[in-house]
């Protein structure tokens, strides 16, 4: 049925009042939401997509059993101008698969052409398992930051539940600030495995520091009820095997 045919009686009625205006507005808003579904792109390990399309088009990425959504990006700097800020078009997102699990990698020129500029990039996204019986148990963060002189290259990450800026359940930190002991990989074990996480990365580089790759992987374990059922099943198999041996012996 056409939208016009639904709305015509409302506008032609002599009882047209403010309440009708509200109803029409709500109906149009609902139609708009239905007409603009979120796009999901399936990526195999090694496949890439530009970050611009994820941010601008509200696109989600499916990698194995993980769904990555809600991509947000902002960039600012000290010592430079607005033109020096990093753009989403310069960053690619690549699907990852390794012994840790499925994940994504961000690659791009996280480098400033002017050594006096230090840039701060904030990158946000959510990750959710597609199988609710497989909960995320830990988060892995890695990067390849390098420095020259007094440069800095680091990534500080907040892992949250219930939305961005809500409950922080883990912090990760990788860095190379010219110190004798740089940290290139970090992992956070979650006390309570969860179905969905919200990730916020604070990426700082410049003054002779740079990076080109930031890797993120997530491991998962069966939810407690699944583990319980598996345990019961194993116990039942043990009992049956013992009974079988007893019957054969007799």
Contacts 24+ apart (CB under 8 A), 40-46: 40/67, 43/94, 43/95, 44/95, 45/95, 45/96, 45/97, 45/102, 46/94, 46/95
Sign of the C-alpha dihedral, residues 236, 238, 241, 243? Answer: negative
Alpha carbon dihedral 162, 168, 172, 175, in 10-degree steps, equals 110
How confident is the model at residue 37, as a pLDDT?
57
Is the pLDDT at 101 greater than 90? The verdict is no
Mean of pLDDT values over 145-167: 95
How confident is the model at residue 61, as a pLDDT?
97
Which single residue is written with the structure tokens 């009992």? 239
Average pLDDT, the chain: 82
Instruction: Please tell me the least confidently modeled range out of 32-41, 123-132, 224-233.
Output: 224-233
- Which is higher by pLDDT, 113 or 44? 44
How confident is the model at residue 99, as a pLDDT?
82
Helix (H) or strand (E) holding 5: helix 3-12
How confident is the model at residue 145, as a pLDDT?
96
Mean of pLDDT values over 218-244: 52
Give 194-211 pLDDT, tens digit per residue: 999 999 999 999 999 999
Mean of pLDDT values over 55-81: 95
Q: pTM of the predicted model, to two decimals?
A: 0.75
**Domain range summary for the chain, segments of one domain joined by +:** 3-35, 39-227
């Amino acid at each position: 049925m056409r939208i016009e045919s639904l709305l015509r009686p409302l506008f032609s009625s002599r009882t047209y009042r403010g309440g009708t205006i509200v109803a029409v507005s709500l109906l149009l808003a609902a139609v708009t939401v239905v007409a603009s579904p979120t796009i999901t792109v399936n990526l195999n390990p090694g496949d890439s997509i530009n970050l611009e399309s994820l941010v601008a088009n509200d696109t989600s990425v499916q990698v194995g059993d993980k769904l990555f959504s809600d991509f947000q990006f902002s960039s600012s700097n000290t010592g430079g101008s607005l033109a020096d800020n990093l753009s989403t078009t310069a960053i690619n997102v690549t699907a990852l698969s390794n012994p840790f699990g499925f994940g994504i990698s961000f690659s791009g020129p996280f480098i400033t052409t002017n050594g006096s500029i230090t840039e701060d990039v904030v990158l946000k996204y959510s990750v959710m398992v597609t199988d609710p019986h497989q909960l995320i148990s830990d988060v892995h963060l890695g990067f390849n930051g390098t420095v020259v002189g007094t440069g800095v290259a680091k990534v500080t990450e907040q892992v949250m539940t219930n939305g961005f800026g809500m409950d922080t359940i883990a912090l990760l930190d990788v860095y190379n600030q010219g110190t004798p002991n740089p940290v290139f990989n970090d992992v956070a074990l979650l006390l309570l495995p969860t179905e969905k996480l919200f990730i916020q990365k604070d990426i700082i580089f410049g003054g002779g520091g740079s990076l080109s790759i930031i890797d993120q992987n997530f491991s998962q374990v069966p939810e407690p009820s699944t583990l319980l059922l598996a345990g019961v099943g194993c116990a039942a198999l043990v009992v049956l095997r013992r009974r079988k041996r007893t019957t054969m012996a007799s």
